[in-house]
């Protein structure tokens, strides 16, 4: 192990050269580490996103089949009457079967209907043609649309507006599964203010269809809808503040007795978004597909995944680019160093030292330099990684936010993100990498984009594993450089060196 | 013990050979000087004896065994010690570490014995203080003595030196040659010194002259 001692003596005796080597190596290691950090962070973020970004499967009436049926009946019958589209509400018994499939974490039944406010006034908007003034007036009773929109749900927490925080419970609590069969209601804060309603108060609603009975509901919570939240009712809808949430059972009661144990649609939350299509396939076997259909929505997952994949492939490129550039730079430095040390090599050869031990001495010297450099790079890596990560994420988030505001008022079906793989390949520079985020417009609804923006946070911290990985890269770089440079050592003739 | 057996050497063409059909024998416990005009091929001949190069014709034998059979690296490591004009020391080490390194590489019987190395340096007039600082901080004469001390620490029975007194003053020259004489006579080694100084040649036991492509015994 004499060559180790020689390496140590050399490194410590030639301090100036050693410090320069350490600085160059530190710089290279710093870049490799930054790349590794971003790549690892993107990895973690992707798997976190997988877990937390909602992917859903929705069970609803098979509208396509219903349309087909309607067209068929139009062409066969010669009646001039307008054909009606008949869809069947989803049976909860079907939903419960699907809920038992693996990877289904929870489900939410939704029933939408409306009723008229009785004893309090709905918010009226000037643009609204059928204003809230009717107050359960006799004339309006025949219309099927009331001034209060009732969203019957299993639990408000699994409604996308709430899970994406565009709506928030401000007082009391939300609707939960425990509210099944009760007349509990959650109303919007504007409506509460207008009518001076508090949690614990009761309101009356008169059904516009079916029994046309009046029901008394107890307010258990007040929520605040963000102003940008768009209602899903289309242009005719009343003010969004007139939306109330009840248990789906109450909404069914309003709709009429034949709607018992049904829902407009049931949304299943999938625990592992990658399994969405297998849940869909399994679910299809459990239902009558001519009446019902299962649709999937893992667009948020796909969006996050696509943007994260972009960051990752960019980080991968940094790692490889820097590793290759580093190898070349270090190899050139080592070659120069070895040329400068020809005399020393000649002396070693004249003493009868084996050539591989001379190469080993240079390698050990470089490993010593590497160890110090990794410590320096480890200290600086967090800083550099943070800056890089911040820049990447800020560009991701800006583009995500932009696409949120541009993705128009959240139409229900609003286009799957066909463009996720769009243009910008991450090129060699930062902008290119960040531009990866630009390739995710067309997210289907505001909620999914918000989710993706919050998921792209890169957690940058230097772990022991990172340093070990960095050490591996460093060793490989050093090994390659020494190998490239050692050709000179292996060919060197001691006579030439000593006699010149 | 060391025998040049009908060796010949040339750089580019045989017609320009430096020497051919050289038959010389060097014994242990004896010192030899090789003199000759500049460019006559003394250094070249010495490098053949040192195993730094191979002769174009013939072979060098150590105790009857051709050195290319021993292996040149192995031969250099175990059987020959080299002192050149430019000292060939490691410039990033102290004299003591230079000796320790050489002893480790050549697997000397005194390998790792710091006191032994220090003793050798003291014998050649290197102070304890000098032997611990960087070798480059020593004078030319002192560095040359460190290189000689190195040959004394190693077990190699053949010591070759190329103009070891080239840049020393008269007094130092005398000193250094006396050390070589001691190496030959006390350590029973075979010492071969190339020189252009007649005084140095006169101090050695025997002297060969290389002239007109031939070696001739002068003394
Ligand atoms: N690498 C080489 N290639 C070609 N010719 C060489 C080479 N080295 C030496 N020579 C030539 O060989 C001849 C002998 O050189 P060498 O160095 O052996 O002489 P020398 O007797 O040691 O001379 P000096 O007393 O000046 O040291 C010289 O003429 C020189 O020009
Ligand atoms: Mg010469």
Percent of chain B whose predicted confidence (pLDDT) is above 70: 100
Q: Give pLDDT, residue A77.
A: 56
Asked whether the predicted pLDDT for residue B121 surpasses 90, the reply is: yes
Calculate mean pLDDT across residues A457-474: 80
For residue A428, the 8-state DSSP code is S
Q: Which of A5, A353, A498 has the CB atom closest to B84's CB atom?
A: A498
Q: Give pLDDT, residue A440.
A: 35
- C-beta B44 within 6 A of ligand 1: yes
Ligand 2 (ion): residues with CB under 5 Å are B 43
Calculate mean pLDDT across residues A155-180: 87
Do A116 and A258 reside in the same domain of the chain?
yes
Q: How many CA atoms lie within 13 A of A409 on its CB side?
A: 8
Do A493 and A375 reside in the same domain of the chain?
yes
Report which of B134, B131, B133, B112 is spatially closest to residue B123, judged by C-alpha positions. B131
Residue A414 located in a structural domain = no
Q: How far is CA A161 from CA A108, A177, A222, A225, B145, in A?
A: 13, 18, 14, 8, 90
Report how many Cβ contacts below 8 Å link chain A to chain B: 67
A233 vs A470 pLDDT, higher one: A470
Do A42 and A147 reside in the same domain of the chain?
no
Do A203 and A99 reside in the same domain of the chain?
yes
Q: What is the rounded end-to-end Cα distance, in angstroms, of chain B?
A: 19
Do A275 and A324 reside in the same domain of the chain?
no
Asked whether the predicted pLDDT for residue A431 surpasses 60, the reply is: no
Q: What is the pLDDT of residues A280-292, one digit of tens each?
A: 888 888 888 888 8
Q: What is the pLDDT of residues A58-97, one digit of tens each?
A: 888 887 777 777 777 666 655 555 656 666 788 888 888 8
Q: How far is CA A76 from CA A69, A462, B149, in A?
A: 11, 71, 117
Ligand nearest to the CA of B40: 1
Calculate mean pLDDT across residues A437-444: 34
Q: Give pLDDT, residue A76.
A: 61
Asked whether the predicted pLDDT for residue A50 surpasses 70, the reply is: no
Asked whether the predicted pLDDT for residue A429 surpasses 70, the reply is: no
Residues A443, A46 contacting (CB under 8 angstroms): no
Question: Within 10 A of B194 (CB to CB), how many other CB atoms are there?
Answer: 27
For residue A179, the 8-state DSSP code is G
Do A356 and A281 reside in the same domain of the chain?
no
pTM for this entry = 0.67
Q: How far is CA A440 from CA A45, A290, A329, in A?
A: 17, 34, 38
Whether residues B52 and A498 touch (CB distance < 8 A) is answered with yes
Q: Which of A297, A328, A353 is the last residue of a domain?
A: A297
Residues A270, A56 contacting (CB under 8 angstroms): yes
Going from the Cα of A20 to the center of ligand 1, the distance in angstroms, rounded, reads 39
Q: Give pLDDT, residue A152.
A: 92
Residue B6, sorted as left (phi over 0), alpha (psi -120 to 50) or beta, turns out to be: left
Q: What is the pLDDT of residues B170-217, one digit of tens each?
A: 888 898 899 999 999 999 999 999 998 999 999 999 999 999 999 999
Asked whether the predicted pLDDT for residue A383 surpasses 90, the reply is: no
> Would you tell me which residues 460-499 of chain A have a C-beta closer than 8 angstroms to some C-beta of chain B?
493-495, 498-499
- C-beta B211 within 6 A of ligand 1: no
For residues A432 and A425, what is the distance between their CA atoms, to the nearest angstrom? Answer: 7
Q: Give pLDDT, residue A78.
A: 54
Asked whether the predicted pLDDT for residue B109 surpasses 60, the reply is: yes
Please count the structural domains in chain A: 2
Report the interhelical angle of A299-340 vs A15-52 (nearest 10°).
Answer: 170
Q: What is the CATH number of domain B28-39+72-217?
A: 3.40.50.300
Map residue A84 onto helix, strand or coil. Answer: coil
Q: Enumerate the domain spans of chain B.
A: 28-39+72-217
CA pseudo-torsion sign B154, B156, B158, B161: negative
- C-beta B11 within 6 A of ligand 1: yes
Q: Give pLDDT, residue B90.
A: 92
Do A41 and A60 reside in the same domain of the chain?
no
Whether residues B76 and A352 touch (CB distance < 8 A) is answered with yes
Buried b or exposed e, range A184-194, using 16+ CB within 10 angstroms: bbbbbbbbbeb
Asked whether the predicted pLDDT for residue A98 surpasses 70, the reply is: yes
Residue A11 located in a structural domain = yes
ipTM: 0.91
Strand-pair partners of B7: B22
Residues A238, A149 contacting (CB under 8 angstroms): yes
Q: Give pLDDT, residue A227.
A: 62
For residue A225, the 8-state DSSP code is E
User: Phi and psi dihedrals of B60, rounded to 5?
Assistant: -95, 135
Residues A259, A90 contacting (CB under 8 angstroms): no
Q: Give pLDDT, residue B42.
A: 93
Residue A413 located in a structural domain = no
Do A140 and A226 reside in the same domain of the chain?
yes
Q: Sorting pLDDT into bands at 50, 70 and 90, what band is B106?
A: very high
Strand-pair partners of A3: none
- Minimum-distance ligand 1 atom for the alpha carbon of B210: 21
Residues B62, B1 contacting (CB under 8 angstroms): yes
Q: How far is CA A350 from CA A142, B81, B116, in A?
A: 111, 8, 22
Q: Give pLDDT, residue A223.
A: 93
Do A375 and A278 reside in the same domain of the chain?
no
Residue A428 located in a structural domain = no
Question: Within 10 A of B100 (CB to CB), how many other CB atoms are there?
Answer: 26
Domain that residue A316 falls in: 3-48+305-400+458-499
Longest C-alpha distance within chain A, in Å? 119
Question: Which residue of A347, A348, A353, A354 is the best one to mutate when testing the B interface, meaning the one whose CB has the most B CBs within 10 A?
Answer: A347
Report the interhelical angle of A299-340 vs A342-350 (nearest 10°).
Answer: 70
B84 vs B42 pLDDT, higher one: B42
Strands (E), A62-136: 90-91, 104-118
Report which of A184, A44, A177 is spatially closest to residue A107, judged by C-alpha positions. A177
Pocket test for ligand 1, best of B43, B46, B166 (most atoms within 8 A of CB): B43
Buried b or exposed e, range B153-177, using 16+ CB within 10 angstroms: bbbbbbbbbbbbbbbbeeebbebbb
Residue A33 located in a structural domain = yes
Q: What is the pLDDT of residues B55-64, one digit of tens each?
A: 999 999 999 9
Do A80 and A150 reside in the same domain of the chain?
yes
Q: Give pLDDT, residue A97.
A: 87
Asked whether the predicted pLDDT for residue A318 surpasses 50, the reply is: yes
Q: Give pLDDT, residue A418.
A: 33
Buried b or exposed e, range A206-245, using 16+ CB within 10 angstroms: bbbbeeeeebebebbbbbbbeeebbbbeeeebbbbbbbbb
Enumerate chain B positions whose Cβ falls within 8 A of a Cβ in A.
43, 47, 50, 52-53, 73-78, 82, 84, 86, 88-93, 97, 101-102, 104-106, 134, 162
Q: What is the pLDDT of residues A258-279, one digit of tens each?
A: 888 888 889 888 888 778 888 8
Residues contacting A54, CB < 8 A, separation 6+: A160, A163, A269, A270, A273, A300, A301, A451
For residues A69 and A84, what is the distance between their CA atoms, to the nearest angstrom? Answer: 10
- C-beta B213 within 6 A of ligand 1: no
Going from the Cα of A231 to the center of ligand 1, the distance in angstroms, rounded, reads 98
Q: Give pLDDT, residue B188.
A: 94
Query: Per mean pLDDT, which range of A21-35, A161-175, A296-310, B66-80 is the poorest?
Result: A296-310
Chain B residues touching A348 at Cβ < 8 A: 105
């Amino acid at each position: 192990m004499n060559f180790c001692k020689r390496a140590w003596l050399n490194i410590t005796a030639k301090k100036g050269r050693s410090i320069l080597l350490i600085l160059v190596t530190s710089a290279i290691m710093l870049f490799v580490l930054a790349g590794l950090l971003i790549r690892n962070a993107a990895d973690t973020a992707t798997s976190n996103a997988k877990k937390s970004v909602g992917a859903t499967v929705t069970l609803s009436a098979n509208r396509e089949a219903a349309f087909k049926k309607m067209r068929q009946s139009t062409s066969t019958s010669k009646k001039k009457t307008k054909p009606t589209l008949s869809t069947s509400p989803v049976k909860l018994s079907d939903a419960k079967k699907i809920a038992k499939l693996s990877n289904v974490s929870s489900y939410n039944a939704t029933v939408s209907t409306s009723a008229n406010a009785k004893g309090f006034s709905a918010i009226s908007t000037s643009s609204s043609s059928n204003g809230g003034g009717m107050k359960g007036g006799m004339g309006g009773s025949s219309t099927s649309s009331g001034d209060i929109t009732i969203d019957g749900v299993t639990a408000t927490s699994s409604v996308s507006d709430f899970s994406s925080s565009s709506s928030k419970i401000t007082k009391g609590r939300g609707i939960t599964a425990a509210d099944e069969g009760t007349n509990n209601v959650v109303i919007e804060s504007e409506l509460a203010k207008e009518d001076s309603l508090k949690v614990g108060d009761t309101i009356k609603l008169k059904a516009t269809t079916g029994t046309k009975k009046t029901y008394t509901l107890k307010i258990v919570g007040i929520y605040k809808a963000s102003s940008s939240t768009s209602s899903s009712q289309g242009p005719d809808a009343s003010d969004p503040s007139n939306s109330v949430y009840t248990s789906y059972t109450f909404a069914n009661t309003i709709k009429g007795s034949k709607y018992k144990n049904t829902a407009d649609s049931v949304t299943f939350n999938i625990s592992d978004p990658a399994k969405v299509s297998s849940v869909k396939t399994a679910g299809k076997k459990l239902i009558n597909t001519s009446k019902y259909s299962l649709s999937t929505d893992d667009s948020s997952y796909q969006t996050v995944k696509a943007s994260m994949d972009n960051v990752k492939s960019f980080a991968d490129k940094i790692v490889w680019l820097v590793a290759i550039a580093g190898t070349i730079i270090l190899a050139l430095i080592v070659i120069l160093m070895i040329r400068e040390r020809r005399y020393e090599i000649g002396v070693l050869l004249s003493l009868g030292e084996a050539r591989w031990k001379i190469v080993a001495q240079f390698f050990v010297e470089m490993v010593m330099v590497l160890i110090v450099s990794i410590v320096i790079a480890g200290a600086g890596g967090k800083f550099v990684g943070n800056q890089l990560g911040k820049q990447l994420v800020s560009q991701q988030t800006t583009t995500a936010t932009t696409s949120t505001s541009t993705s128009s008022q959240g139409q229900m079906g609003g286009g799957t993100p066909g463009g996720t793989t769009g243009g910008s390949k991450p090129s060699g520079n930062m902008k290119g990498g960040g531009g990866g985020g630009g390739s995710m417009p067309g997210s289907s609804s505001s909620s999914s984009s918000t989710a993706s923006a919050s998921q792209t946070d890169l957690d940058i911290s230097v772990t022991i594993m990172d340093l070990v990985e960095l050490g591996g890269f460093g060793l490989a770089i050093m090994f390659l450089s020494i190998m490239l440079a050692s050709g000179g050592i292996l060919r060197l003739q001691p006579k030439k060196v000593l006699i010149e | 013990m060391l025998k040049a057996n009908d060796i010949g050497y040339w750089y580019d063409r045989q017609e320009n050979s430096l020497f051919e059909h050289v038959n010389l024998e060097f014994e242990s416990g004896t010192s030899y000087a090789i003199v000759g005009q500049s460019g006559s091929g003394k250094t070249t001949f010495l490098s053949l004896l040192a195993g730094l190069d191979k002769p174009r014709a013939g072979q060098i034998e150590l105790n009857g065994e051709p050195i290319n059979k021993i292996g040149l690296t192995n031969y250099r490591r175990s059987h020959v010690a080299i002192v050149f004009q430019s000292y060939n020391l490691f410039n990033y080490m102290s004299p003591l570490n230079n000796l320790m390194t050489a002893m480790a590489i050549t697997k000397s019987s005194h390998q790792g014995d710091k006191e032994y190395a220090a003793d050798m340096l003291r014998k050649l007039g290197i102070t304890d203080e000098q032997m611990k600082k960087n070798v480059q901080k020593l004078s030319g004469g002192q560095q040359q003595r460190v290189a000689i001390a190195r040959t004394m620490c190693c077990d190699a029975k053949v010591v070759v030196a190329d103009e070891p007194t080239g840049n020393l003053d008269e007094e130092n020259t005398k000193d250094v040659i006396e050390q070589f004489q001691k190496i030959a006579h006390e350590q029973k080694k075979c010492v071969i010194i190339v020189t252009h100084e007649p005084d140095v040649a006169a101090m050695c036991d025997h002297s060969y002259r290389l002239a007109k492509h031939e070696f001739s015994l002068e003394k």
